[in-house]
Chains A and B, each alone.
Chain A
Amino acid sequence: MTRVVLVPGVLALLPEYAGFADPVADLRAACLAAVATLGTDVEVLASGSGARVARHLLDQVPRSDDHPSYLVVGNGSATRTERAPGHLDERAADFDARLRAALVGPDPVALAALDQDLATELWADTGQLGRLGGLLGGDCDVQVTYADAPYGVQYWVMTWTTA
């Protein structure tokens, strides 16, 4: 069994940015629950600050099994609303819908062929998703445990389990 988890690289998940109230409490709970299903030895696929988020999440939950495990950090567009970090881009909803479909499929070909220029224009963090697709050949169970854009950024927490 191989297990792959996708979480968004949300800096508000890091303890150094904690306030009294947690603005991403639901997302955090979903991330921790998903990460808890990973094995003890986890390969992290992340860029920049996403690696810090991954490491923090991994440090938060005890894990025991030794199945091959991957934690991928990425998210959809950051242009879903006028208050989104990248302001509203009308192309964002369609981009995110197609990306979600490719992830849930999973569709490794579509993930490898992602339009990275458009992703950049939409402030999406998709740099690792092509590699994610490469991990998901064959039969695969997919669970989506979080899918929302509470701050105009499309987040997903997904778990893939392959036989």
Chain B
Amino acid sequence: MTLRLGRHAFADDATIMMAIVNRTPDSFYDQGATWAEDKASARVDLVVGQGAEMVDIGGIKAAPGVEIGEAEERSRVVDFVARVREEHPGVVISVDTWRASVGDAACRAGADVLNDAWGGADPELVDVAAAHDAAIICTHTGGATPRTRPYRVEYDDVVRSAIDDTVAYAERALAAGVARESIVIDPAHDFGKNTFHSLELTRRLGEMVETGWPVLVSLSNKDFVGESLDKPVGERLLGTLAATAICATAGARIYRVHEVVETRQVVDMAWTIAGRRPPARAIRGLQ
């Protein structure tokens, strides 16, 4: 399906690198490295230079912690969105928020995508996306409350649950007026899931792709990688890339990443193997 993310359209066979930009002092991977606005801005410059088509700006870390009110989240995100919009008109700007009010302000400042990592916790988020002709990312959390960790969560079939919930969310977005080509689904690895759930979602990602909705995967340096390989944060890149290759083979379209260059190479290689992308330049044996 052709994908339209706010101001930007992508061909059916395009894959998209969505680089994570945290305006937080405490996210698990970067531990506040881009908390200062200038540092965050430098991060945007870097990832855009590395070829990222999209940035995902978040003002609240996913894990539990100090409560961040709406005003504080706005102050972290909205003006920064405006700055990125001005400095990088060609990049897709996604905002990682579950709050409709923050999403609305971000869209007014130039955001193209609302990345609802918490699976529709605020039912009015779809209305905001529709009002601004923005895209929305519909994630599966198994009903988890925002910023909670999974505790003894079980599913009869985690893939079935992910498909049912994200497709239902997508249809709710569609009914609210979000354009069909601007709705993306995300199984949300680790969110409301133990490692076995995330592994199964990776293994069976093709079933989500078969729904016809474009699929986003957010794998980067997550605990399911760390627990699979017994590696701490900071040593999970290879495992992340292995999972990325599996998801790319299945047909995921958008990759939410910390490492743009490495992920781009892996995705391109997997898509080339799958026959969805030609080689860059082929002459071996063809002279």
Report B-chain residues with C-beta under 8 Å of the C-beta of A22. 281
Q: Which residue of B279, B280, B282, B287 is within 8 Å of A153 (Cβ)?
A: B287
Report A-chain residues with C-beta under 8 Å of the C-beta of B66. none
Stretch at the interface among A9-17, A65-73, A104-112, A137-145: A9-17
Report B-chain residues with C-beta under 8 Å of the C-beta of A20. 278-281
Cα-based distance from A10 to B283 in the complex (angstroms) = 10
- The reply on A23 being an interface residue by CB < 8 A is yes
- The reply on B286 being an interface residue by CB < 8 A is yes
* Contact assessment for A12 and B278 in the assembled complex, using a CB-CB cutoff below 8 Å: no
Contact with B along A64-105 (1 / 0, CB 8 A): 000000000000001000001100000000000000000000
* Contact assessment for A17 and B287 in the assembled complex, using a CB-CB cutoff below 8 Å: no
* Contact assessment for B278 and A19 in the assembled complex, using a CB-CB cutoff below 8 Å: yes
- The reply on B285 being an interface residue by CB < 8 A is yes
- The reply on A152 being an interface residue by CB < 8 A is yes
- The reply on A163 being an interface residue by CB < 8 A is no
* Chain B residue at smallest Cβ distance from A24: B283
* Contact assessment for B281 and A151 in the assembled complex, using a CB-CB cutoff below 8 Å: no
- The reply on A18 being an interface residue by CB < 8 A is yes
Cα-based distance from A153 to B279 in the complex (angstroms) = 22
Cα-based distance from A57 to B280 in the complex (angstroms) = 22
Contact with A along B268-284 (1 / 0, CB 8 A): 00000000001111110
Minimum CB–CB distance from B287 to chain A (whole Å) comes to 4
Report B-chain residues with C-beta under 8 Å of the C-beta of A151. 283, 287
* Chain B residue at smallest Cβ distance from A11: B286
* Contact assessment for B279 and A78 in the assembled complex, using a CB-CB cutoff below 8 Å: no
Minimum CB–CB distance from A107 to chain B (whole Å) comes to 27
- Which has the most chain B C-beta neighbours within 10 Å: A10, A12, A18, A85? A12
Cα-based distance from A20 to B272 in the complex (angstroms) = 11
Residues of B73-111 at the interface with A, using a CB-CB cut-off of 8 Å, are none
Residues of A1-44 at the interface with B, using a CB-CB cut-off of 8 Å, are 10-12, 17-24
Cα-based distance from A35 to B155 in the complex (angstroms) = 65
* Contact assessment for A85 and B280 in the assembled complex, using a CB-CB cutoff below 8 Å: no
* Contact assessment for B285 and A85 in the assembled complex, using a CB-CB cutoff below 8 Å: yes
Cα-based distance from A85 to B286 in the complex (angstroms) = 9
Cα-based distance from A23 to B286 in the complex (angstroms) = 10
Report A-chain residues with C-beta under 8 Å of the C-beta of B286. 10-12, 17, 23
Report A-chain residues with C-beta under 8 Å of the C-beta of B285. 11, 85
Cα-based distance from A84 to B281 in the complex (angstroms) = 17
Report B-chain residues with C-beta under 8 Å of the C-beta of A10. 286-287
* Chain A residue at smallest Cβ distance from B283: A23
Report B-chain residues with C-beta under 8 Å of the C-beta of A84. 287
* Contact assessment for A152 and B287 in the assembled complex, using a CB-CB cutoff below 8 Å: yes
* Chain A residue at smallest Cβ distance from B279: A19
Cα-based distance from A20 to B286 in the complex (angstroms) = 15
Q: Which residues of B contact A (CB under 8 A)?
A: 278-283, 285-287
Q: Could you list some 28 contacts between A and B, CB below 8 A?
A: A10-B286, A10-B287, A11-B285, A11-B287, A12-B283, A12-B287, A17-B282, A17-B286, A18-B278, A18-B282, A19-B278, A19-B279, A19-B281, A19-B282, A20-B279, A20-B281, A21-B280, A21-B281, A23-B281, A23-B282, A23-B283, A23-B286, A78-B287, A84-B287, A85-B287, A151-B283, A151-B287, A152-B287
Q: Which residues of A contact B (CB under 8 A)?
A: 10-12, 17-24, 78, 84-85, 151-153
Q: What 14 new A-B contacts, CB under 8 Å, besides A20-B279, A20-B281?
A: A11-B285, A12-B282, A12-B287, A17-B282, A18-B278, A19-B280, A19-B281, A20-B278, A23-B281, A23-B282, A23-B286, A84-B287, A151-B283, A151-B287
Task: Please provide the 8 A-B residue pairs with the shortest distance between their CB atoms, ordered closest to farther.
Answer: A12-B286, A151-B287, A21-B281, A23-B283, A11-B286, A19-B279, A19-B282, A153-B287
